[in-house]
A and B are shown apart, each in its own frame.
Chain A
């Protein structure tokens, strides 16, 4: 499969890249801007493949879902604030807690991290874009459409209602005959496609798109976090997509996978769901831990303590994460040996997490912390991470799990983990990178207010849930009798959750105010060490006018660290401007080995996303011909997308020059 060596004279097949500088305003820089900027107006909006634009869309959309999931939670907390409430019917409550879970887990926590990574990866790695810019656009569009798909059932009173874990037999046709479950099953298969193509993009980007010299031991921890999460997704998502699809077959085609009377096994659902579900827990926290590992040192004025240990513990967490799914099934009736083994692995997984925690504490301890808003969020996260981790170790103990299973203790644990390890770093991360995103600083006073209100509200709201669980309150009940002893804890929880929501509101006000009135940010307002801060704020469409040559882990701190003189070169290097180009490097030590031709903007990802969402709509409504038609339209979009390009020297049969030459 090796290529025949091209004639050395053929510039289109092989060339020596131009080396030079392209300062702002120079003809070379203007040419780059022309090449990389999307068309103005709706055309550019629909066809753009710029990772920064897509990253911000991911962030914005995920935040809207966070708000929707939050409103659902608040309605539930109103219902649960006092005993014997009648605000909601049991069926409405079921739909609310299901959509709350689905929204927060699938439509907020992973997509929001994809948003950060999409925006930051190429900038942190010193590249002009992701490996597959069009795939990036596709993963966003499918994410958006599957969210709309899931939510469009809600106003019709047919929202999914069997919990985000959707256990059979309750989710089977016999007990749940409405379209609710079909919406969930099909919507999640669709969302799985988005996650998978997004993950493929991250993995290939890491291995191929790093700037020369950015060897694997120099990438930021956020990159490690998203990489391991993406690798996990590639292995784990098929499991749950299959489970959803088999469920849909059971409900629509009359198969018997989960149907006990004909030999099917409900436990199969639990295995397939949690083989995905548990690695997924780490997929939604590891990149967030990466955010902290990269941003926290900036505020401590020193590099992260134990970079290699943290990077390795990230991977170890993910590997172990595949070996613990059974701990969700302890109470379902399993052999003792299986429970012992999975109980033990579930406890072992706290070791790599502890490594990360100690690394953060040591970084704060040995540094000179500056107490800006992002620092507060990251430090608060460390505390919540410890509490969530401890309650996790408790539920990993089989006898305790028997006691705590299906109580509010578990609800408390998972909220400490997901809000503590996901929401706090995310909000802190937005405070941190806001100047890079929009070129303006966020307001510090409002920032500190938002942190303290969120932090106090969160602990006030969710800590008592542990107590409710220990007092025996089960999950997913829509109301309770007044004499159970749960009245006070529930009232406190409801009050706390509204205070927490007020904190989020202050944060959103801060975003809105700062977007217009924030102080104008310099390229590197926090004096941070990583490569994304070498670009202007916000970065130009092409990211880097010349591809940087990286010589250390902290390119912007080289002059002050023991490494001596600055060796990373940011001003002079590869120009690469015969069309949209960037450099491809070897997987481990990042030596340049190809000039990559990057794709132009295209409508194909939007239409492929739209048509595939319509395929699933057709399946839901049993419109066979429509489904087949949309399937063909999807195939057609893909062919248009992949049609051989002249700029890759495909379909150039005569001696014409490749398009996009620079003659400036």
Chain B
């Protein structure tokens, strides 16, 4: 392959976007976390296919609030992306604002989800479905909380003026995690909220 290596070439230094180690590391982390959710959903489908219980016990869940919440989560991903673009084009104030909005939307998702949990007539000990529902959404909630922690740290770093249009790899990499958390929610949402409709018809 590489017969001659060209040495007299300008090279970027340090943490340069997609060339930085962190970007690669985050992708591998996403692969392994994605597998975790894959096994979680496998567990759901395996047990659902084997059970003789009424599934889900209280009938297919209402879609209105969870649907809205899905929208809120995806919008927050959009704002993280906007924050990164603003940094890249040299508008740090705008990027700060859009990160703050993303953070608030993320918190909104948590509050609505907590409310969803409270409205359920069962808990994780009531029956098998309850165990699955609360474990899967709980795992996702854990990832959302970690993601919010990351966004909060990024917000502080942006506010301290640590990044400019030349160096913002940390925001790209942290943002990648948040996008992952949001994309994974689509799978969780489809499994727990949409699949029962498909199944009952």
Inter-chain contacts of B25 with A (CB < 8 A): 131-132, 135, 200-201, 204
Task: Tell me how far the C-beta of B141 lies from the nearest C-beta in chain A, rounded to whole angstroms.
Answer: 15
- Stretch of B4-12, B61-69, B105-113, B186-194 contacting A (4+ beta carbons < 8 Å): B4-12
Task: Tell me how far the C-beta of A307 lies from the nearest C-beta in chain B, rounded to whole angstroms.
Answer: 14
Q: Are B47 and A268 in contact (CB under 8 A)?
A: yes
Question: Tally of A-B residue pairs with Cβ under 8 A?
Answer: 206
- Nearest residue (CB) in A for B29 is A200
Q: Are B162 and A254 in contact (CB under 8 A)?
A: no
Inter-chain contacts of A635 with B (CB < 8 A): 149
Q: Are B24 and A131 in contact (CB under 8 A)?
A: yes
B14 within 8 A of A: yes
Q: Are B128 and A4 in contact (CB under 8 A)?
A: no
The size class of the interface chain B forms with chain A is 35 or more
Q: Are A596 and B124 in contact (CB under 8 A)?
A: no
Inter-chain contacts of B9 with A (CB < 8 A): 16, 592
Q: Are B50 and A16 in contact (CB under 8 A)?
A: no
Inter-chain contacts of B149 with A (CB < 8 A): 635
Inter-chain contacts of B31 with A (CB < 8 A): 234-235
* Most chain B CB atoms below 10 A, which of A8, A200, A653: A200
A69 within 8 A of B: no
Q: Are B127 and A650 in contact (CB under 8 A)?
A: no
Inter-chain contacts of B160 with A (CB < 8 A): 651
Contact with B along A234-256 (1 / 0, CB 8 A): 11111101100010010001111
The one of B5, B21, B89, B153 in contact with A549, judged by C-beta atoms closer than 8 angstroms, is B5
Q: Are A593 and B1 in contact (CB under 8 A)?
A: no
- Nearest residue (CB) in A for B55 is A263
B195 within 8 A of A: no
Task: Tell me how far the C-beta of B161 lies from the nearest C-beta in chain A, rounded to whole angstroms.
Answer: 6
- Nearest residue (CB) in B for A581 is B13
- Stretch of A73-81, A211-219, A479-487 contacting B (4+ beta carbons < 8 Å): A211-219
Bound Cα distance from A239 to B37, whole angstroms: 9
Task: Tell me how far the C-beta of A657 lies from the nearest C-beta in chain B, rounded to whole angstroms.
Answer: 12
The one of B19, B28, B51 in contact with A593, judged by C-beta atoms closer than 8 angstroms, is B19
Q: Are B162 and A242 in contact (CB under 8 A)?
A: no
Q: Are B157 and A265 in contact (CB under 8 A)?
A: no
Task: Tell me how far the C-beta of A292 lies from the nearest C-beta in chain B, rounded to whole angstroms.
Answer: 26
Inter-chain contacts of A642 with B (CB < 8 A): 153, 170
Bound Cα distance from A262 to B1, whole angstroms: 59
The interface size of chain A toward B, counting residues with CB under 8 Å, comes to: 80
A400 within 8 A of B: no
A264 within 8 A of B: yes
Bound Cα distance from A594 to B162, whole angstroms: 21
Residues 1 to 43 of chain A near chain B (Cβ within 8 Å):
1-4, 6, 8, 10-17, 19
Q: Are B166 and A4 in contact (CB under 8 A)?
A: yes
Inter-chain contacts of B24 with A (CB < 8 A): 131, 204, 207-208
A-side binding surface: helix, strand, loop or mixed? mixed
The one of B15, B18, B88 in contact with A597, judged by C-beta atoms closer than 8 angstroms, is B15
The one of A212, A594, A648, A651 in contact with B2, judged by C-beta atoms closer than 8 angstroms, is A212
Q: Are B50 and A14 in contact (CB under 8 A)?
A: no
Q: Are B19 and A594 in contact (CB under 8 A)?
A: yes
Q: Are A594 and B16 in contact (CB under 8 A)?
A: yes
A418 within 8 A of B: no
- Stretch of A101-109, A297-305, A497-505, A583-591 contacting B (4+ beta carbons < 8 Å): A583-591
Q: Are B128 and A208 in contact (CB under 8 A)?
A: no
Bound Cα distance from A77 to B134, whole angstroms: 46
Q: A3-B17, A234-B28, A257-B47 are in contact. Are A592 and B36 (CB under 8 A)?
A: no
Residues 11 to 47 of chain B near chain A (Cβ within 8 Å):
11-21, 24-25, 28-29, 31-33, 35-36, 38-40, 43, 46-47
A387 within 8 A of B: no
A148 within 8 A of B: no
- Nearest residue (CB) in A for B156 is A639
Inter-chain contacts of B132 with A (CB < 8 A): 257
- Nearest residue (CB) in A for B134 is A255
A162 within 8 A of B: no
Inter-chain contacts of B157 with A (CB < 8 A): 644
Bound Cα distance from A237 to B43, whole angstroms: 15
A272 within 8 A of B: yes
Q: Are B13 and A16 in contact (CB under 8 A)?
A: no
Bound Cα distance from A596 to B157, whole angstroms: 22
Q: Are A8 and B13 in contact (CB under 8 A)?
A: no
B58 within 8 A of A: no
Bound Cα distance from A239 to B172, whole angstroms: 28
A512 within 8 A of B: no
B131 within 8 A of A: yes
Task: Tell me how far the C-beta of B193 lies from the nearest C-beta in chain A, rounded to whole angstroms.
Answer: 20
Q: A242-B39, A589-B1 are in contact. Are A256 and B7 (CB under 8 A)?
A: no
Inter-chain contacts of A246 with B (CB < 8 A): 43, 135
Inter-chain contacts of A346 with B (CB < 8 A): none
Inter-chain contacts of A593 with B (CB < 8 A): 11-12, 19
Bound Cα distance from A647 to B165, whole angstroms: 17
Task: Tell me how far the C-beta of B69 lies from the nearest C-beta in chain A, rounded to whole angstroms.
Answer: 24
11 A-B pairs with CB atoms under 8 Å apart are A4-B89, A16-B11, A199-B28, A213-B5, A257-B135, A268-B46, A584-B19, A589-B2, A591-B2, A650-B167, A651-B161
Given contacts A2-B17, A644-B163, 9 further A-B contacts (CB under 8 A): A6-B166, A13-B167, A14-B11, A15-B10, A200-B32, A238-B35, A263-B52, A653-B161, A653-B164
